[in-house]
């Protein structure tokens, strides 16, 4: 792969392999590809997730606009089945975080988090849309969260390694427009739970 920076030729996205995102605009060689800076900025600007959250992670594109977050080692480009998890859909007007990303990293968010009660959470998890006109924050993609398993936080004494604590737990991504919260939980992740 050429580094392309000093060439007029623009490479096109190869949807069959993983390519590491360029750090910034100046290093971009593939038309329309998101940069690491843009991705980290989006999570910080929209949701208040601190950029340093992602210091030990790399971001990759495979497929048109599908962004993956990965914590392990890998050279670029790479032709394998998957690395880490899909985290964001780009190459569209409004970039959309994934349910799995939000469940993994969304507890660090401070903005655009809509707190649901248990019945609202139940409807959200089952994939239902619902009227929630009391929300007076931004429209667009929100992190839906609810209180679950409220108990002792932090690292347990006997069996360490807890990665996080806290009371609010992210459920997934919702799209809020015209007083309605639309659940974006993919079909395979939807569950019928008790309220």
103 contact partners, CB below 8 Å, separation of at least 6: 170, 171, 172
Binding mask 133-152 for other proteins (x = CB under 8 A): ---------------xxxxx
Whether cis (ω within 30° of 0) applies to the bond prior to 18 is no
Residue 182: its H or E element: strand 180-183
Contact positions with other proteins (CB under 8 A) in 37-56:
56
d(CA 22, CA 32): 11
Binding mask 4-23 for other proteins (x = CB under 8 A): --------------------
d(CA 183, CA 141): 10
55 contact partners, CB below 8 Å, separation of at least 6: none
Contact positions with other proteins (CB under 8 A) in 158-177:
158-159, 161-165, 169, 171
Instruction: State the minimum distance, in angstroms, from the CB of residue 66 to other proteins.
Output: 12
Establish if 178 lies at the interface with other proteins (CB under 8 A): no
Q: Return residues touching other proteins (CB under 8 A).
A: 56-57, 69-75, 78-86, 98, 100, 103-104, 125, 148-156, 158-159, 161-165, 169, 171, 188-189, 191-194
């Amino acid at each position: 792969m050429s580094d392309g920076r000093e060439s007029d030729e623009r490479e096109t996205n190869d949807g069959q392999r993983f390519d590491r995102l360029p750090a910034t605009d100046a290093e971009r060689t593939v038309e329309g590809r998101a940069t690491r800076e843009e991705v980290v900025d989006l999570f910080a600007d929209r949701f208040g997730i601190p950029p340093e959250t992602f210091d030990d992670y790399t971001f990759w594109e495979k497929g048109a606009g599908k962004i993956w977050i990965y914590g392990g080692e890998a050279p670029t480009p790479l032709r394998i089945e998957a690395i880490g998890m899909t985290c964001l859909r780009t190459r569209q007007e409004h970039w959309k975080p994934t349910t799995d990303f939000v469940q993994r990293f969304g507890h660090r968010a401070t903005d655009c988090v809509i707190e649901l009660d248990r019945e609202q959470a139940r409807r959200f998890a089952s994939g239902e849309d619902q009227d929630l006109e009391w929300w007076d924050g931004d429209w667009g993609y929100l992190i839906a969260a609810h209180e679950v398993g409220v108990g002792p936080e932090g690292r347990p004494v006997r069996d360490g390694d807890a990665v996080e604590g806290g009371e609010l737990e992210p459920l997934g991504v919702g799209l809020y427009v015209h007083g309605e919260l639309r659940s974006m939980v993919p079909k395979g992740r939807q569950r019928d739970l008790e309220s």
